[in-house]
Structure 1
Amino acid sequence: MKPGPRRSISQADIVDAAFEIFEEKGGDAVSIRGVAARLGLTPTAMYTYFTSKNALQRAMVEQVFSKLDLAAASDPSVAWRARVRTLAADLRARFAEHPGAVVLVASGPLDGRHALTFGETLLEGFTSGGMPLADAARATVAVRAYVLGAITLDAAAAGTDTDAADAPAPLWTEATQHPLTESAALLGDDDAFATGLDRLLDGFGLPPAA
């Protein structure tokens, strides 16, 4: 039987294929040639969509940001703190779908449409609480740094979630030399992210329900 015409390839198809490679083999394996081979394209054809690996990586970051539910974080009837918390938790959850993808953030500035809309929504949350724009800009940077830091720790923890036989040997085993660290680990505080974010927001001086 004669094969039918090949379906067209979209940028979304390319980004999806890049994430497949990323999750199978790691970030170093994501390349124009590798993604082209996965999709049955020539590298030359790939360059009509993305001119470099860096451009492809930035598109992958944009895809993560595109999945945020910004409508829920933009409701003016909701208090500013709840809006910021919702947005921060959503971003963390979206990156959790692609463990380790936070390293892609270093591929370039967060100046894609979806990433900028995320920042705009954060700014709206702070200014709706009465914060001057200059302070809101600083608060937005602080919250973004906090969330990306938490995502990095999540990825590191996920990397240790392996079978006992496959788990790497610990670099340091004398737990008694670090009693506070050991005790803190035993607390199992599942609300550490939300609690830390609240403490950060407290520092900006607006009332919680403003």
Structure 2
Amino acid sequence: MKPGPRRSISQADIVDAAFEIFEEKGGDAVSIRGVAARLGLTPTAMYTYFTSKNALQRAMVEQVFSGLDLAAASDPSVAWRTRLRTLAADLRARFAEHPGAVVLVASGPLDGRQALTFGETLLEGFTSGGMPLADAARATAAVRAYVLGAITLDAAAAGADAEAADAPSPLWTEATQHPLTEAAELLGGDDAFATGLDRLLDGFGLPPVA
């Protein structure tokens, strides 16, 4: 029996395969040759989609940003702070689906179309309320740094939890030497991210949510 026709491969299929390898083996394992083998392609065929590993990694970042609902974030009938909080939480959730992707963000500039559109949406939101462009640029940089910083901490915490789950239980525990840190972690709760973002926005004079 002859094999059936080979299904076509899209760039999205390639990026999905790259994420599979990334999350199984880490960033160093993602390569044009490795992804080609995962999909049953030749490296030469892969180069028709992506000319380098760097181009592939940038496409992975773009895929994360492409899942954001930027249309809702541009809805003028909703208060900008409310839209911004939703957008920030949405981006955090997208990275939670691909926790290793935060490493890719740090590996190069966020200059892909989707990432730039995200930044443009932030700028438009700030300036729509009358904020001068220079201040809007500072606010956009601060919000982006805050959200990506939180995502980085989320990824680190997830990795630590996974290691702790695999480690044997200690026979004894020592009294903590960092009581304030432990108490703060207990008090943070699920709303710590939103609260921190609100404090940041307060500093830029953004009107509070009604």
Contact 1:79 1:208 in 2 (8 A): no
- Which moves more between the two structures, 165-174 or 97-106? 165-174
Instruction: Name the SS of the counterpart of 2:7 in structure 1.
Output: coil
Superposition deviation, residue 173 in structure 1:
7.1
Aligned 1:153-192 pairs, distance under 5 A: 153-162=153-162, 166-167=166-167, 176-192=176-192
**Which ranges of 4 or more aligned residues in structure 1 deviate by more than 6 Å?**
168-173
Give the number of aligned pairs. 210
Residue deviations 1:21-61, cap 9 Å, x none?
11111111111110000011111111111111111000000
Residue deviations 1:123-142, cap 9 Å, x none?
11111221111110110000
TM (normalized to structure 2)? 0.92
Per the alignment, do residues 26 and 108 of structure 1 end up closer, same or farther by CA in structure 2, a change over 3 Å counting?
A: same
Superposition deviation, residue 93 in structure 1:
0.6
Superposition deviation, residue 183 in structure 1:
1.2
Contact 1:62 1:114 in 2 (8 A): yes
- Which moves more between the two structures, 2-11 or 49-58? 2-11
Per the alignment, do residues 209 and 128 of structure 1 end up closer, same or farther by CA in structure 2, a change over 3 Å counting?
A: farther
Per the alignment, do residues 134 and 173 of structure 1 end up closer, same or farther by CA in structure 2, a change over 3 Å counting?
A: farther
- RMSD, matched Cα: 2.4
Superposition deviation, residue 208 in structure 1:
2.2
Residue 197 of structure 1 corresponds to 197
Residue 130 of structure 1 corresponds to 130
- Which moves more between the two structures, 146-155 or 129-138? 129-138
Q: Judging by fraction of residues, say which structure has more helix.
A: 2
- Aligned-residue sequence identity (percent) comes to 94
Instruction: Name the SS of the counterpart of 1:169 in structure 2.
Output: coil
Query: Any stretches of 5+ residues in structure 2 without a counterpart?
Result: none
- Which moves more between the two structures, 42-51 or 182-191? 182-191
Superposition deviation, residue 165 in structure 1:
5.8
Q: What CA distance in whole angstroms lies between the structure 2 residues aligned with 1:59 and 1:175? A: 47
Residue 59 of structure 2 corresponds to 59
Contact 1:99 1:155 in 2 (8 A): yes
Superposition deviation, residue 7 in structure 1:
1.5
TM (normalized to structure 1)? 0.92
Residue deviations 1:98-153, cap 9 Å, x none?
11210010232111111111111111111122111111011000000000000000
Contact 2:17 2:35 in 1 (8 A): yes
Q: What CA distance in whole angstroms lies between the structure 1 residues aligned with 2:148 and 2:171? A: 25
Contact 2:81 2:206 in 1 (8 A): no
